[in-house]
Amino acid sequence: MKSLLQFSRLIDAISEAVGRAAIWLVLVVVIISAGNALSRFAFNMSSNAWLEIQWYLFSAIFLLCGAYVLKKNEHIRIDVIAGRLSERGQNWIDVFGILVFLLPMALIVGYLSWPGFMNAWHSGEMSASEGGLVRWPVRLLLPIGFALLILQAFSELIKRIAFLTGHGPNVLSRVSGPTAEEELAAAIKKHQVAPEVADIVNMNHDMAVADMDKPGARK
């Protein structure tokens, strides 16, 4: 179990590094989108490549951050039943969900996505739009993203089993700390990149918190 936990920590470190790096793609997408809109309306200049790179980057954010979100235990849960169970019961549900649903799904999608990438790579597939981009980079994101998700699923499985056997803490216990929006805003300010963007991120977070505090809002 000690060796397995070391392996789990290595996977967690990889997911953390990839996730934190992918967070910056949000800022890149905002800058590209704003620049493309400005050039289109101010100079009547635009390109399909700029439009496609935005959804390429959005795909990268979605797929590369999947493992990071799973590590942070921030994925969507339906706790109607699990929320009423003991800590051990909740961990057993996670073990069942990882083995029966998450891992089979991720393995199947990852396996089926690889031929699509190889076909695009060998054929030099290009966008059907004039001035569009080559397709293989975005197709490569699928197997990479699901490979990271599979690794993180094994890490989470190890941590659940470690808790159930008395060799580790309960990772389902939420630890108070900054939200994803607060982390991104802090990182932007730390690197002195567009402070106004950080203010917008914080404003959106404050609005979301205010909505949650309204009477009748779902917690």
Number of domains in the chain: 1
SS3 134: strand
Does any domain span residue 36? Answer: yes
- Report yes or no on 193 lying in a domain: no
Residue 158 is assigned to a structural domain of this protein = yes
Angle value at C-alpha 90, between 88 and 92, nearest 5 degrees: 70
Domain of residue 155 covers 2-73+81-175
User: In terms of C-beta distances under 8 Å and separation of at least 24 residues, what long-range contacts does 133-141 make, across chains too?
Assistant: 133/49, 133/52, 133/53, 133/56, 137/56, 138/56, 138/59, 139/113, 141/59, 141/60, 141/63, 141/64
pTM of the model: 0.76
* Domain membership flag for residue 212: no
List the chain pLDDT tens, one digit each, 219 residues: 889 999 999 999 999 999 999 988 988 988 888 888 888 787 777 778 888 899 899 999 999 999 999 998 887 777 777 777 888 888 898 999 999 999 999 999 999 999 999 999 999 888 888 878 899 999 999 999 999 999 999 999 999 999 999 888 888 876 555 655 566 666 666 665 555 555 555 555 555 555 555 554 444
> Is residue 186 in some structural domain?
no
Residue 190 within any structural domain of the chain? no
Structure tokens, 22: 């992918």
| Domain assignment present for 19 | yes
For residues 90 and 79, give the distance between their C-alpha atoms in angstroms, rounded to a whole number.
9
Q: What is the pLDDT of residue 8?
A: 93
